Structure 1
Amino acid sequence: MADVKIIPIILCGGTGTRLWPASRESYPKQFLPLSGDRTLLQDTALRVSDPARFDDPIIIANDAHRFIVSEQLEDIGVRPTIALEPCRRDSAAAVGAAARLAELRNPDAPVLILASDHVIGETEEFLAAVDAGLPAALAGKIVTFGLKPTEPTSRYGYIRVGAAVAGAPGVSLVESFIEKPARPAAEKLVAEGCYWNSGNFLSLARTLLAELTRLAPGTAGPAIASADKAVADLVFQRLDPASFAEAEATSIDYAVMEKTPHAAVASVSFSWSDVGSWSALWEISPRDASGNTLVGPSAAFGSSNSYVRSDKHLTAIVGMHDAVVVATQDAVLVTTRDNADKVKELVAELAAKQEPMATQASLAHRPWGSYQVIDQGERFQVKRITVKPKRKLSLQSHVHRSEHWVVVQGAALVTVDGEVSLVRENEAVHIPLGAVHRLENPGVVPLQLIEVQTGSHLSEDDIIRYMDDHGVE
């Protein structure tokens, strides 16, 4: 087994709405450092980075997140295949397309399907579980990882365990899956010795594709075709849009795992959370003597068992118990831990009212860097712009606004109507309305500047692009 390299497939298309306002559709939870210094995606990728066990991973991600994924994995030295979903079709189509890409790389490869937004506490125990499940996977089983419940919760699905799998110690057949039962039923399942279903699994790529084709042909056919017709774009693989759009939207659990006779479960000992709510994050986070988790500039007085998180402003609670308070640059959430699961419903209601902050993060990421609106009003807008070293924005002009740039860190190479100048720290430059201009960072440190826009129309659609290194702004 030492010469068998597993291809990790990391699913990175979730929206994480239960962790709003920190997590939003434009920048969901897998890209956030929620349980340490690295993001959940980075932790997931590093967990399967041992070259003795694993081949380079395949990340399947939303097209809108492609540069975030690429940047975060580049920062930790991981070189993946990044496959881009042209539209959302749930996890079965994503898994099918990624498994086909893995099969094209190596027809005999086992694949390890992982969520990008789970927290696993002990990497060595995780790797031991993968090693234990591999013989069963090589023998044609689809092995999921089952955890011994710590409580009878309805947040997770359960696995009822059957007979042992020959030749694979610690692995058993799956008798049945039970999807998120009510608490009384969960108590009975825990008493029976059932496991929590982690939602991650190991299989030969060809086994997985054969079962998906047999059980969900309306999803498998289009997903496989989208991978066969994928085209390269910069460092990405774009799945064929027409094919992928034809796939029936369904989850891999419903399409395959709950129906296949080849399902098996490996009993595992590592700690795990899907970080499905603020309450779940509180459960796995360090807490003070009063049971409070305080993240960022935050404080608690006369309070207990609460989660307080702030990105910028000092956020304090007094006399609160079992509370959740999350303050970002542009939104504040106040709820209780018991009601934390309802945040998803709140976000859906805000989105239905076309509230931009329901889905759009205040920090907008671009292939060249990022920008954040820090103030705005009638006929003006102020942004903080960061440009990565050796990156440049498109050559562009505006019809309705002028801009004034003040450099606060680094040096900017600025082109205005063909004239090029170097603007250093504490210096400024004016971009008149209609001027053809470009901003570039020629240095080796991030360029930071404050941009003041004035004019009658200040949205991002007031940009005429003449030359763009990235194909998108």
Structure 2
Amino acid sequence: MSTLIPCIIAGGAGARLWPVSREATPKPFMRLPDGDSLLQKTFARAAALKDVERLLTVTNREVFFRTLDDYRPLNQTRIELDFILEPFGRNTAPAIAAAALHVSQRYGADAQLLILPADHLIKDVAAFVAAVDNARPLAEQGRLVTFGLVPTHAETGFGYIEKGQALNDHSFQVRRFIEKPDAATAQRYVEGGQHLWNGGMFCMRADVILQELREFVPQVLSAVEHCLERSYRKEGPHELQVELESDSFAQAPDISIDYAVMERSKKVAVVPCQLGWSDIGSWQAVRELIPADEQGNQCTGETVLHEVSNCYIDSRQRLVGAVGLDNLIIVDTPDALLIADGKRSQDVKLIAQELKRLGHDAYRLHRTVNRPWGAYTVLEEGPRFKIKRIEVKPGASLSLQMHHHRSEHWIVVSGMARVINGEDELLLDTNESTFIKPGRPHQLSNPGVIDLVMIEVQSGEYLGEDDIVRFNDLYGRAPITPGTR
């Protein structure tokens, strides 16, 4: 059988899971109660498949280093990693087109792609492996195989797949794909046994999906082909990056693979499966992962409750006291608090959408922001000042940069800092500091073997993150990148 390349598609901000999921820290990075992220769980089950030697990830370039951080502790077997880095999302059809073209060119037109959303939860990994084993012979024969989840209840938030003629003991032709139904229709689907939830997972040969893309949406395939010709590639030990060129990628139509191909192709088959699957699409789905107490409450963090029932409370940094509440969702983060009716968890996206419309930072960023070199946390800010806690990983370095409108005072809390300050280069130990004037080139790096922790005090007329002139950077970021550091 031909080579199998799992392809993790990591897109979408997860607006229904605000304030934990945000544009710069989207849903796949959300930590579940066991401490693992959804992305890590997706990687782990892909790695559990037989004979997998290489894994492809399609994700946004802004979260590339965060993705590597999530993969690193799990990749003990040294699976080769390919990345296709999107400048922005264009839905699943362009993403899968890029993945299929990449795989076809490098690993053979007959190589099989296993498309896996990065933000779904599958509890039964053994059943997942068995379902993939059932799908692969069909994909080898030229089928586009989707995995249909046997419904456990009448769900109006998912699309459905209607089974057609049986192909073998484990699979069926797909009669049709169905949009999200109303409650009565969903109940009939569950009772009838002919309908499955559409989980957005696929197994197919690269040449077959490319043929169907060329037939049904040639404009998608041609735009992505043109984009790949102009895209930058970087190859190193055990890792390959393809950074999609922005202007040409913007020409690809924004369309899902379901609309583009699956609903139109005559080659689609479905493998029914029971995987303990959830799309973790709302706080209601998250709360179902946590056991409830005698009053029906599910709490993470320290709480003091009086006459509280059926509530979900997630507050990991502050004590929450509650009196006389029923069926609420309460999610507390350092810079934002969500309080919602438990029956309206799907409507949380409306808060995220309004914040985005207003240009509010709470849509895009957390108070702690991850960077390739580590992270920073805004501790306090006001007119003409901002105070940050900065952590730099061992061996990591910020870019050599300059600011027009602000000065910075750096104080080392722990570890050792190597600092370029204008023409001076110095080492700073714990409780030592340096002052950087506006317009002076400077760079911070960690030459030690433990994390460098320091406090940065910014002062000036303008303190925006886009006041950065970048001269060079270890991480290949653009010379001038608003909002990054």
Task: Normalising by structure 2, report the TM-score.
Answer: 0.92
**1:468 is matched with which residue?**
473
**1:333 is matched with which residue?**
338
CA contact (8 A) 1:7 1:110 kept: yes
Relative to structure 2, which stretch is displaced further, 113-122 or 300-309?
300-309
Distance 1:103 1:287, change over 3 A: farther
Q: 1:296 is paired with a residue of what secondary structure? A: strand
CA distance in 1, matches of 2:467, 2:179: 48
**1:363 is matched with which residue?**
368
Q: Which runs of 5+ in 1 are unaligned?
A: none
Q: 1:27 is paired with a residue of what secondary structure? A: coil
CA distance in 2, matches of 1:311, 1:236: 36
**1:276 is matched with which residue?**
281
Counterparts of 1:135-284 in structure 2 under 5 Å?
135-166=137-168, 169-193=169-193, 194-233=195-234, 236-284=241-289
Aligned length: 469
Distance 1:125 1:461, change over 3 A: same
Q: Which runs of 5+ in 2 are unaligned?
A: 478-484
**2:481 is matched with which residue?**
none
CA contact (8 A) 1:63 1:84 kept: yes
CA contact (8 A) 1:293 1:307 kept: yes
CA contact (8 A) 2:378 2:388 kept: yes
Distance 1:379 1:120, change over 3 A: same
Q: 2:109 is paired with a residue of what secondary structure? A: coil
CA distance in 1, matches of 2:92, 2:303: 37
**2:34 is matched with which residue?**
36
2:74 is the alignment partner of 1:73: no
CA distance in 1, matches of 2:349, 2:49: 38
CA distance in 2, matches of 1:101, 1:392: 32
Report the AA paired with residue 87 of structure 1. Answer: F
2:291 is the alignment partner of 1:289: no
**1:348 is matched with which residue?**
353
Relative to structure 2, which stretch is displaced further, 214-223 or 249-258?
214-223
1:286-317 Cα deviation digits (max 9, x unpaired): 33333322223445443233221124222333
CA distance in 1, matches of 2:248, 2:401: 35
**2:121 is matched with which residue?**
119
**1:313 is matched with which residue?**
318
Give the Å deviation of 1:115.
0.3
CA distance in 2, matches of 1:316, 1:171: 52
CA distance in 2, matches of 1:424, 1:96: 51
**1:443 is matched with which residue?**
448
Distance 1:398 1:246, change over 3 A: closer
Q: 1:12 aligns with which of 10, 13, 21?
A: 10
Q: Over aligned residues, Cα RMSD in angstroms?
A: 1.9
CA distance in 1, matches of 2:321, 2:111: 52
Task: Normalising by structure 1, report the TM-score.
Answer: 0.94
Relative to structure 2, which stretch is displaced further, 288-297 or 107-116?
288-297
1:123-165 Cα deviation digits (max 9, x unpaired): 1111111001111111111111112211101011111111111
CA contact (8 A) 2:159 2:198 kept: yes
Distance 1:140 1:416, change over 3 A: same
Give the Å deviation of 1:79.
4.0
1:313-341 Cα deviation digits (max 9, x unpaired): 22333322221111111100100221111
**1:383 is matched with which residue?**
388
Report the AA paired with residue 397 of structure 1. Answer: M
Q: 1:55 aligns with which of 47, 53, 56?
A: 53
Relative to structure 2, which stretch is displaced further, 66-75 or 263-272?
66-75
Report the AA paired with residue 161 of structure 2. Answer: I
